[in-house]
Amino acid sequence: MYLEVKDIDFSFKDETILKEASFSMKKGEIVALLGPSGSGKSTFLRVLTGLAHISRGQLFIHDEEITKLPPEKRHIGMVFQDYALFPHMSVKQNIMFGIEHLKKDDRYLQLHKMLKLTNLTDKCHKYPHQLSGGEAQRVALARSLAASPDLLLLDEPFSNLDTELKAGIRLELKEILSSLDTTCLFVTHDIEDARAIADSVYTIENYKIKKIENANM
């Protein structure tokens, strides 16, 4: 398996969120994590990124253990629910933020690839407040994908979008992820999102991450 989560425990203060939870993903797989508010979905993403610390268990990507690595060394991309764009930076500057370490030529090559992929080339000098919700989401996606992460995490990627736009945006997202062969775990509370995009669907139940075998997909 490409991503392996082995037997992890996570508590917040006295509240148990995950206990002896295991989970795995294949390379290139798109998985939805479905469940009601407060079930621990965002917390699980934070555990994977290293923003929250497990008290037991291990995490592996590509057979390399990442359990003790700080977030910046995990090569995991995260798109937060509110996108967390830098308001004082243009689209271009937002996308280039995570690839400062690349050589100048490679950095611009990657910027233009991401702008094209997310259809933002003509917005590259705009600032976040000048963008629609869908465009802001694509900037956040481009910023995460620019660094070629081993794993991409999306927290409720559709929750801030108009319902009429959702179907088109789901399809667009699926195409972008497939074209880069991205391994992606996304959180949603909407079974329709999961059906439209995911190869398999999981939920958090009794502190464990369980596959929903019959999601009618």
CB of 215 to ligand ADP, least distance (A): 18
Rounded to the nearest 10 degrees, what angle do helices 104-117 and 133-146 cross at? 140
Q: Which of 37, 206, 214, 216 binds ligand ADP (CB under 6 A)?
A: 37
Cβ(17)–Cβ(38) below 8 Å? no
Least Å distance between CB 33 and Mg ion? 10
Q: Which of 39, 144, 183, 188 binds ligand ADP (CB under 6 A)?
A: 39
Q: 21 has which bridge partners?
A: 8
Report, in Å, the least distance between residue 122 CB and ligand ADP: 34
Q: Which does 40 bind (CB under 5 to 8 A by kind): Mg ion, ligand ADP, none?
A: ligand ADP
Interface residue with ligand ADP among 3, 17, 96, 115 (CB under 6 A) is 17
* Site size for Mg ion (CB under 5 A): 1
d(CA 94, CA 117): 15
Look at phi and psi of residue 82 and say left if phi exceeds 0, alpha if psi is from -120 to 50, else beta. alpha
* Single residue of 8, 31, 40, 66 touching ligand ADP by CB under 6 A: 40
Q: Could you tell me which stretch among 33-41, 61-69, 91-99, 101-109 binds ligand ADP (CB under 6 A)?
A: 33-41
Q: Quick check: 112 and 45 in contact, CB under 8 A?
A: no
Q: What is the DSSP string of 98-159?
A: GGTTS-HHHHHHHHHHHHHHTT-GGGTT--GGGS-HHHHHHHHHHHHHHT--SEEEEESTTT
Residues 27-86 touching Mg ion, rule: CB under 5 A, are 42
| Binding positions for ligand ADP, rule: CB under 6 A | 12, 15, 17, 35, 37-43
| Binding positions for Mg ion, rule: CB under 5 A | 42
